[in-house]
């Protein structure tokens, strides 16, 4: 280990050593250039000897000749000045006699030509330094760009059948597994299919939202079949230079044929498989050539060569039609978001290596997380585990899972933010308005939680979930109930506070989108059962250009009027419900001021008993302090870790300190 670290340190020091050598060389030559050398004849030297103006002498014999080099200084020379003279052996005695008088200023050098070490230093060492410098620089360049030479090679990563992922590790996706089981049978026993003349699909396209398990399903297919598995992303094909992507496609299929039967998995295929010849500025030559090569290769190999391509995308609408035709991607498998039963199975998979408290009910968590993908669920449990560690708990309780759910949906709670009493009252009435609509309106979603603790950009939120999980079809009354619920916050502000705020802006955005879709897409207005707008985003166009409009300006005015009519109708309905249930709004608002967060059980108790008994509420008592007030009191008492405590823990800690 020490040798490796020393080598690494030495390798990192190479550039600095090279820079130091260059600096020394430059300084040497700069200093050398400042010296002034006077070339004297032997006669001039003898004259200066006779005048005794020489202050120092150095005599150096020249190899294989009866000539000596005499160097030195004269009295009138300045700093850096010297003379140099060639003297014959017969004239040397005059110089040496004078030099003996100088004593210590007299030097005699040996013949440099007779020293082999000096010869190596002068003639060979510079070459060695230049070669070493070039080697270091080129090795550094190669290490920073290892693929500079083989950029045309495939970047598909091969796993040679040692996958540990099996179907048992993929929770849910029952129908999707059945669709791909034929691929496993073919890879294990291709002759069984060939005997009956059957052709296995050459390509299977996995379509679905992000995080639903498309990549995991492809790995499970390779793991069950126990065959080589090539993995590559669509973006790995596209390169700056035209033709490189096509070369990588050819190389990938060449390698796959050597290891057949095998699987090729292309993730995010829409990066390379987008429609050709679209967009305002024309197509991308490199991407289109890569796609053309991919189409050719998928048609090029025989039906029974044992190569199956699995690709994944969440944007099938932008893929080129030639890519989806039979013979290339013969089969499309939709990997949708999990339902309640599948979410429970996914929770069980991810909960295996976690210590859960006895109060944790996975079925309840599954029912409270509609719309969560498999990746969201995994992240939910991971966040809960991190919170448990942060709170020094021995296991993961429902408190951590509730907090983790809020974090995934809305972001972390901003408990350190100072909220004024006016803001608190405003948010409490706003959220109570949402909740009352959900409680009293028949087709509205069920209220599961209310909080006025700020998260993300929201000052608070009301969690409303469907009473029963559906396949995605909604009736007109349910859509109108959703709009009414969204407008309940603004209606409550207007009725109880006598003013309106910016807090309902996001509610308006969602309500307007639903109302406009009802008019232009679902045919739920007086304009009749017609579709006026169709979402069809162009491949290279911005989202503002992404709707096809097949109507005149007069119809556009009627669409705006119909949308406004739906919004106004729902808003009046919201105000009517809130006015009829004023006492309940006041009670829920007061409960939020006290507790800041209300669970489903507490909300049901308040509605049934028409009191705050479930909160242990007592007038004029210290137990009536809100969570924010408790934290302020804990801060004054200097209680450690008070910011991470729940309301109950804070009350207990304050009592102990008293």
Active site positions, annotated = 431
* Secondary structure class of 566 (helix, strand, coil): helix
* HSE-up (13 A, CA, CB side) for residue 570: 32
Picking from 445, 447, 459, the residue whose alpha carbon sits closest to that of residue 493 is 459
Token pair for 386? 């991190």
Q: Please, which residues bridge with residue 334 across strands? A: 207
Evaluate the omega torsion of the peptide bond into residue 261 and state whether it is cis, within 30 degrees of 0.
yes
How far apart (Å, rounded) are the C-alpha atoms in residues 163 and 439?
50
* 3-class DSSP assignment, residue 38: strand
Q: Where are the alpha helices (DSSP H) in 581-626?
A: 582-595, 600-609
Nearby residues of 477 by Cβ (< 8 Å), 6 or more positions away: 443
Distance CA 369, CA 364 (A): 9
Half-sphere exposure of residue 138, counting CA atoms within 13 Å on the CB side?
A: 6
Q: Tell which residue, 375, 185, 159, 348, has the closest CA to residue 177.
A: 185
The β-bridge partners of 40 are: none
Please give the structure tokens belonging to residue 107.
Answer: 């030097």
* CA separation for the pair 610, 408 (Å, rounded): 33
Q: Which tokens is 610 given? A: 């028409």
Contact 207, 332 (CB under 8 A): yes
CB atoms within 10 A of CB 5: 9
| Number of residues that this document lists for the chain | 658
Task: Kindly state the helix (H) or strand (E) to which residue 60 belongs, with its residue range.
Answer: strand 54-61
Burial class (CB in 10 A: 0-12, 13-18, 19+), 58: middle
Task: Tell me how far apart the alpha carbons of residues 230 and 158 are, in angstroms, rounded to a whole number.
Answer: 5
CA distance linking residue 568 with residue 372, whole number of Å: 32
Q: Give the span between the Cα atoms of 5 and 11, in whole angstroms.
A: 10
Beta strands in 75-128 (DSSP E): 81-88, 106-108
Half-sphere exposure of 566 (CA within 13 A, CB side): 30
């Amino acid at each position: 280990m020490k040798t490796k670290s020393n080598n690494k340190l030495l390798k990192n020091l190479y550039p600095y050593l090279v820079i130091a050598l260059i600096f020394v060389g430059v300084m040497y030559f700069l200093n050398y250039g400042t010296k002034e050398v006077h070339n004297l004849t032997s006669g001039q030297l003898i004259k200066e000897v006779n005048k005794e103006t020489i202050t120092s002498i150095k005599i150096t014999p020249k190899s294989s000749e009866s000539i000596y080099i005499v160097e030195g200084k004269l009295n009138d020379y300045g700093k850096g000045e010297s003379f140099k003279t060639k003297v014959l052996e017969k004239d040397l005695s005059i110089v040496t006699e004078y030099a003996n008088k100088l004593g210590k200023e007299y030097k005699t050098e040996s013949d440099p030509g007779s020293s082999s070490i000096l010869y190596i230093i002068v003639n060979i060492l510079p070459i060695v330094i230049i070669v070493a410098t070039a080697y270091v620089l080129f090795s550094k360049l190669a290490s920073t760009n290892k693929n500079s030479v083989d950029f045309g090679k495939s970047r598909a990563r091969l796993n040679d059948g040692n996958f540990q992922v099996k179907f048992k590790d993929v929770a849910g996706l029952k129908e999707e597994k059945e669709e791909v089981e034929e691929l496993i049978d073919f890879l294990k026993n291709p002759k069984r299919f060939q005997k009956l003349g059957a052709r296995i699909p050459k390509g299977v396209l996995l379509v679905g939202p992000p995080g639903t398990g498309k990549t995991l399903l492809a790995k499970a297919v390779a793991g069950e079949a126990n065959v080589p598995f090539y993995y590559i992303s669509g973006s790995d094909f596209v390169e700056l230079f035209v033709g490189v992507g096509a070369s990588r496609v050819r190389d990938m299929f060449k390698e796959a044929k050597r290891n057949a039967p095998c699987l090729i998995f292309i993730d995010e295929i829409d990066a390379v498989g987008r429609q050709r010849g679209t967009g305002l500025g024309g197509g991308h030559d490199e991407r289109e050539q890569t796609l053309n090569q991919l189409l050719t290769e998928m048609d090029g190999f025989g039906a029974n060569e044992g190569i199956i391509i699995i690709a994944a995308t969440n944007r099938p609408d932008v893929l080129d039609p030639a890519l989806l035709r039979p013979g290339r991607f013969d089969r499309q498998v939709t990997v949708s978001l999990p339902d309640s039963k599948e979410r429970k199975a996914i929770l069980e998979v991810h909960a295996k290596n976690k210590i859960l408290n006895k109060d944790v009910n996975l079925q309840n968590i599954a029912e409270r997380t509609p719309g969560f993908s498999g990746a969201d669920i995994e992240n939910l449990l991971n966040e809960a585990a991190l919170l448990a560690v942060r709170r020094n708990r021995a296991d993961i309780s429902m408190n951590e899972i509730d907090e983790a759910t809020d974090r995934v949906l809305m972001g972390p709670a901003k408990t350190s933010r100072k909220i004024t009493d006016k803001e608190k009252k405003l948010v409490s009435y706003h959220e109570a308005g949402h909740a009352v609509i959900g409680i009293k309106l028949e087709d509205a979603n069920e209220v599961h939680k209310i909080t006025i603790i700020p998260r993300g950009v929201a000052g608070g939120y009301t969690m409303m979930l469907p009473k029963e999980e559906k396949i995605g079809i909604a009736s007109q009354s349910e859509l109108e109930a959703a709009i009414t619920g969204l407008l309940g916050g603004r209606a409550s502000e207007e009725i109880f506070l006598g003013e309106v705020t910016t807090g309902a802006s996001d509610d308006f955005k969602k309500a307007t989108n639903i109302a406009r879709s009802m008019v232009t897409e679902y045919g739920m207005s007086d304009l009749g059962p017609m579709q006026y707008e169709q979402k069809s985003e162009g491949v290279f166009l911005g989202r503002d250009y992404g709707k096809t409009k097949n109507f005149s300006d007069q119809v556009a005015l009627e669409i705006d009027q119909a949308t406004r009519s739906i919004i106004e109708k729902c808003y009046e309905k919201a105000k009517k419900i809130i006015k009829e249930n004023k006492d309940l709004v006041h009670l829920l608002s007061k409960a939020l001021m006290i507790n800041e967060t209300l669970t489903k059980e507490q909300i049901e108790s308040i509605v049934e008993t028409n009191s705050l008994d479930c909160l242990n509420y007592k007038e004029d008592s210290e137990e009536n302090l809100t969570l924010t007030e408790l934290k302020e009191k804990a801060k004054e008492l200097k209680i450690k870790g008070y910011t991470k405590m729940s309301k109950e823990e804070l009350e207990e800690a304050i009592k102990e300190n008293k």
